[in-house]
Chains A and B, each alone.
Chain A
Amino acid sequence: MHLLFSEEVDFSTNRVIDWLYYNDEKYEKHIDHNKAQKDHFNFEDKTIAVSFGGNITDPIFKVNDIKDPVDINSTWFRRPTINSKTLSPEKQNFGVYPKEYLEYSNQKRMRTFWDFLCYNLQKTKKLGSYEIVDLNKPIILKKAQEHNLTIPKTLITNSIDELRNFFNLCNQKIITKSLGSVIPEYKHQVNHPKDHYLSFYQLTKLIDNIDTAPKKFAPSLFQECIDKEYEIRSIYLNGELYSACIFSQLNEQTKVDMRNRPANHPTRYIPYQLNQAIESSITSLMQELTLDYGAIDIIKGIDGQYYFLEINPVGQYGDVSLQCNYYLNKKIAEYLINNSND
């Protein structure tokens, strides 16, 4: 059985399941326990035992569903979310012990259990990472530079004076983006017209006028704005890079952030081969980060230079795979099948 850690709805996971299904492979899917349904992998209908210590050096796992033992042949940490199930309302107010404390204690214990389980699964046949679902952006930029990748001029500051100096140094054209994770998308229902809503989200923002910018702010990330010839999205999968050239500069709206696009105006993608030196640098960076999967953003400037931007360890690959005919869903399924523990 192949165990897939994913979200409630992830269309890339569905496409990999198509290929597992095609190959008559058994699979189970684990999602956030608070959203899990009966057919998701959890321990309401299974028992688990992990033995180790004494003469046993490698832990022995026993997972049983109601009738039979379950063998986990491989694990795909696509988008792991480990939250324990919240107690049902009728069980929350049992006795006088505060329900918040009970919930907190329960969550902590179950988190430790899942951490231990996934820690062991990570040592067997797996793809993706349980621990690394989010990377520290400045650390990755620094490490990329150490691996001979060019990065844009970057400033992290909470000083308006430092920002003004940097703005002038970068020809009065800089961008700001989140130092860490972007804010979650928020959907706000509006009354008129009734069938509309407002979606709040975050994009990379071009700053070309410092006078109207906030004067007080927490430490934030700023980079020089690179005039790009095109954008490159590379999918790193077990030592191989699958790259796409994305012509986001052809549309005024997608010049700074390619997500700022109308649904009926798709951006053009074509398969792209990065040069050997850049591929080697990315590979050595991924090896240092112990990542076997990542979606990497690069831009090629009109100055001819390739600029590394960031790595998303759980990034989407569907657009690159589909538009460049890379068949990454098939490759992932085959990797899980061919690298099984049995």
Chain B
Amino acid sequence: MIDQSNKYKDLIQIPEDESIPFDMHYICVSEKKTSNLEEKFVYMKKYRALGSITDFYKKNSNIIDIDS
């Protein structure tokens, strides 16, 4: 993540106050593109969670067959 706080200064207006810690004035912002998570991740029973076919697995892996 690349910090683009300078570009979005107006969006991060934390008031200066005795009850707000110093570091809170330096919140970072990054622009991100929305990715279609449904394409990357599917619910896999094996993991009881979303799982993805990562670079660890060959394309012919049977991992989806196991879990679906």
A binds B: yes
Q: Which residues of A come within 8 Å of B, CB atoms?
A: 6, 8-11, 13-14, 17, 21, 28-29, 31, 37, 39-40, 158, 163, 176-179, 183, 187-188, 195-203, 205, 213-222, 253, 259-262
Q: Is the CB of A217 within 8 A of B16?
A: yes
Q: Is the CB of B28 within 8 A of A218?
A: no
Q: Is the CB of B47 within 8 A of A202?
A: no
A221-B23 contact in complex given A29-B48, A39-B45, A195-B34, C-beta closer than 8 Å:
yes
A222-B22, A260-B28 known; 19 new pairs, CB 8 Å cut-off, are A8-B50, A14-B47, A17-B46, A17-B47, A29-B47, A29-B49, A40-B48, A176-B23, A177-B23, A198-B8, A200-B27, A200-B29, A216-B16, A217-B18, A217-B22, A218-B19, A218-B20, A259-B1, A261-B2
A-side contacts of B51, CB under 8 Å: 14
Q: Which of B1-60 contact A (CB under 8 A)?
A: 1-3, 8, 11-12, 16-34, 41, 44-52
A215-B16 contact in complex given A14-B47, A221-B23, C-beta closer than 8 Å:
yes
The chain A residue with its CB closest to the CB of B17 is: A216
- Closest-CB distance, A100 to chain B (whole angstroms): 25
Q: Is the CB of B22 within 8 A of A176?
A: yes
Q: Which of A28, A39, A218 contacts B21 (CB 8 A)?
A: A218
A-side contacts of B47, CB under 8 Å: 13-14, 17, 29
A57 to B58, CA, bound (A): 52
A158 to B52, CA, bound (A): 46
14 contacting pairs across A/B (C-beta < 8 A): A9-B41, A10-B49, A13-B49, A29-B47, A183-B27, A195-B33, A195-B34, A196-B33, A197-B34, A198-B8, A198-B29, A199-B31, A216-B18, A262-B2
Q: Is the CB of B50 within 8 A of A203?
A: no
Q: Is the CB of B22 within 8 A of A199?
A: no
Q: Is the CB of A220 within 8 A of B49?
A: no
Q: Which of B3, B19, B30, B50 contacts A9 (CB 8 A)?
A: B50
Q: Is the CB of A179 within 8 A of B26?
A: no
A202-B49 contact in complex given A216-B18, A261-B1, C-beta closer than 8 Å:
no
A-side contacts of B12, CB under 8 Å: 200
The chain B residue with its CB closest to the CB of A16 is: B47
Q: Is the CB of A253 within 8 A of B2?
A: yes
A203 to B2, CA, bound (A): 11
